[in-house]
């Protein structure tokens, strides 16, 4: 209890004793005074959980783009991912407009939930993928429809940078020979040149107004951030995603959505033979180059092998089983590629579950419960009351919803609760 003041002020010795007791009790409750007062005050406004500010658009509808020089297997890779048939002829600019696919994301948790609830409808979490036509040297200056293709890259949020490390006369190379390190440099350099030009022009256009104090402190901070970003790109010759930026810098960068601010996953397209034996002369050189440019995730795989696996899937489960029984170490890389792309976009998903439907919903990491509700429907967000939440791992451990609740693992959360990957949510609203 708090120190008493009934009957006038207490004696100094008694007051000291009561204050000491209150201090000890407060310490025992981790300094939470409300935890030990007998008459709790009116609930204070809900404090938002802290969430990290990251480079990129705040939207939940984020996309990965498949990028590379021509004829490295981008459209063939896209065909396998999406099960869509688009032109993939052996011609540098066969893909003029970006093609989009919404691809289911492999997740054992979703499969478990479907088997648990036996819903009438099931909708897995997905990732949006765009196939973007090949870039050539000089794209930043407009070569090979470069400006159009760079605008397509600007429209996505992360990049699958695909390079070719297999020989083959039947598939010509726009540069004349196979050299994946050179190809990686061509694309990365073109993106960096484009960003340098954009930021340099922005700095010069703002300089006079900033010197005249037009726009006040806000424009001054933006100008200073842009100068810092330009200096980093010119001195380090690296994309902005590798820089160390303040919150102000990130807010500025997110206004400009620079090409080199996008997360990159490097995909190395091998021949089937090299993939299955995991040996290729270019892999150490590619790794060395990626490390020299700031680092990143490298995934070797084979479009040729993935196409054959797709053909087996089309033939039926028996064909797949027979092949896997005979070749147990031959595994598809697509699940890892999709999951890595998902992580590169800072995406997570939560689930809504019941007899009618089990569905995985995609959101950006760090979203509040009310914002997550808006992914389902804007009315739920606008009329949000609370979220009833428990985690997948608790459901799997306890066995069913009732056991989760009895174990005290089902919680009521407010609108500022930050959704965690794997949360199972039911949103209460008055809409």
Condensed to tens digits (0 to 9), the pLDDT of residues 245-263 reads: 999 999 999 999 999 999 9
d(CA 94, CA 174): 13
Share above pLDDT 70 across residues of the chain, in percent, rounded to a whole number: 80
The strand pair at 126-131 and 63-67 is best described as parallel
- Both tokens of 101, joined, read 């696919």
3-state secondary structure of 206: helix
Share above pLDDT 90 across residues of the chain, in percent, rounded to a whole number: 62
pLDDT value at position 91?
Answer: 39
Q: Is residue 248 within 8 Å of 225, Cβ to Cβ? A: yes
- Both tokens of 129, joined, read 């993928």
d(CA 414, CA 431): 17
Q: CB count, 10 Å around CB of 239? A: 23
- CB under 8 Å to 330, separation ≥6 — which residues? 276, 305, 323, 324
pLDDT value at position 52?
Answer: 65
Confidence check: pLDDT of 86 > 50: no
pLDDT value at position 303?
Answer: 95
Query: What number of residues does the chain have?
Result: 431
pLDDT value at position 31?
Answer: 29
pLDDT value at position 174?
Answer: 66
Confidence check: pLDDT of 39 > 70: no
Confidence of residue 81 (pLDDT cuts 50, 70, 90): confident
d(CA 361, CA 373): 10
- Both tokens of 102, joined, read 């919404």
Q: Mean per-residue pLDDT for 349-368? A: 94
Condensed to tens digits (0 to 9), the pLDDT of residues 210-255 reads: 999 998 999 999 999 999 999 999 999 999 999 999 999 999 999 9
Q: Is residue 164 within 8 Å of 71, Cβ to Cβ? A: yes
CA angle 387-415-39, nearest 5°? 90
Q: Mean per-residue pLDDT for 109-125? A: 95
Q: Mean per-residue pLDDT for 343-359? A: 94
d(CA 330, CA 426): 40
Q: Mean per-residue pLDDT for 350-359? A: 96
What backbone torsions phi and psi does residue 399 show, to the nearest 5 degrees? 105, -35
Q: Is residue 123 within 8 Å of 357, Cβ to Cβ? A: yes
Confidence of residue 168 (pLDDT cuts 50, 70, 90): confident
Of 30-44, 104-118, 222-236, 335-349, the one with minimum mean pLDDT is: 30-44
Q: Maximum Cα–Cα distance for the chain, whole Å?
A: 99
Mean per-residue pLDDT over the chain, rounded:
84
Residue with the larger pLDDT of the pair 153 and 6: 153
Q: Mean per-residue pLDDT for 393-406? A: 96
Confidence check: pLDDT of 416 > 70: yes
pLDDT value at position 238?
Answer: 93
Confidence check: pLDDT of 199 > 50: yes
Which value, in Å, is the radius of gyration of the alpha carbons in the chain? 28
CA angle 205-206-211, nearest 5°? 130
DSSP state letter for 128:
E
Confidence check: pLDDT of 125 > 60: yes
pLDDT value at position 87?
Answer: 47
pLDDT value at position 2?
Answer: 42
d(CA 186, CA 71): 14
3-state secondary structure of 304: helix
d(CA 428, CA 425): 10
Residue with the larger pLDDT of the pair 385 and 102: 385
d(CA 414, CA 42): 16
Residue with the larger pLDDT of the pair 14 and 344: 344
pLDDT value at position 20?
Answer: 45
d(CA 91, CA 75): 11
| Terminal alpha carbon distance of the chain | 42
Q: Mean per-residue pLDDT for 84-88? A: 45
DSSP string covering 384-409: EEEEEEEEHHHHHHH-SHHHHHHTT-
Maximum average pLDDT range among 71-75, 126-130, 277-281, 404-408? 404-408
Classify residue 383 by burial, with Cβ atoms within 10 Å: 0-12, 13-18, 19+.
middle
Confidence check: pLDDT of 172 > 70: no
């Amino acid at each position: 209890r708090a120190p008493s003041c009934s009957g006038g002020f207490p004696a100094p010795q008694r007051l000291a004793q009561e204050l000491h007791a209150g201090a000890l009790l407060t310490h025992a409750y981790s300094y939470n005074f409300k935890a030990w007062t007998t008459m709790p005050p009116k609930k204070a406004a809900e404090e938002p959980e802290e969430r990290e500010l990251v480079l990129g658009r705040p939207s939940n509808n984020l996309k990965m783009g498949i990028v590379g020089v021509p004829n490295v297997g981008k459209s063939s890779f896209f065909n396998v991912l999406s099960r869509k048939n688009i032109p993939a002829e052996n011609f540098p600019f066969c893909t003029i407009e970006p093609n989009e696919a919404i691809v289911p994301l492999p997740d054992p948790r979703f499969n478990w939930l479907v088997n648990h609830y036996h819903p009438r409808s099931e909708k897995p979490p997905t990732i949006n993928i765009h196939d973007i036509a090949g870039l050539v040297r000089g794209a930043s200056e407009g070569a090979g429809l470069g400006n159009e293709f760079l605008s397509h890259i600007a429209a996505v949020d992360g990049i699958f940078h695909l390079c070719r490390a297999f020989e083959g006369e039947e598939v010509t190379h726009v540069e004349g020979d196979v050299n994946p390190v050179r190809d990686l440099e061509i694309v990365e350099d073109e993106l960096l040149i484009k960003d340098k030009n954009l930021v340099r022009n922005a700095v010069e256009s703002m300089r006079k107004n900033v010197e005249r104090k037009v726009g006040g402190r806000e424009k001054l901070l933006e100008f200073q951030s842009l100068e810092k970003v330009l200096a980093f790109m010119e001195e380090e010759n690296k994309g902005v995603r590798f820089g160390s930026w303040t919150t102000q810098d990130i807010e500025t960068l997110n206004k400009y959505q620079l090409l080199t601010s996008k997360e990159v996953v490097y995909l190395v397209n091998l021949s089937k033979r090299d993939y299955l034996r995991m040996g290729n002369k270019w892999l150490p050189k590619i790794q060395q180059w990626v490390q020299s440019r700031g680092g990143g995730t490298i995934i070797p795989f084979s479009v040729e092998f993935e196409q054959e696996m797709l053909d087996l899937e089309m033939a039926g489960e028996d064909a797949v089983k027979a092949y896997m029984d005979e070749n147990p170490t031959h595994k598809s890389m697509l699940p890892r590629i999709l999951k890595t792309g998902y992580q590169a976009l800072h995406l997570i998903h939560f689930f809504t579950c019941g007899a009618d439907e089990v569905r995985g919903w995609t959101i950006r990491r760090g979203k509040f419960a009310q914002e997550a509700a808006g992914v389902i429907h804007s009315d739920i967000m606008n009329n949000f009351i609370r979220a009833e939440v428990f985690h997948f791992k608790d459901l799997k451990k306890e066995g069913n919803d009732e056991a989760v609740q009895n174990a005290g693992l089902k919680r009521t959360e407010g609108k500022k609760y930050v959704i965690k990957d794997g949360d199972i949510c039911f949103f209460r609203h008055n809409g």
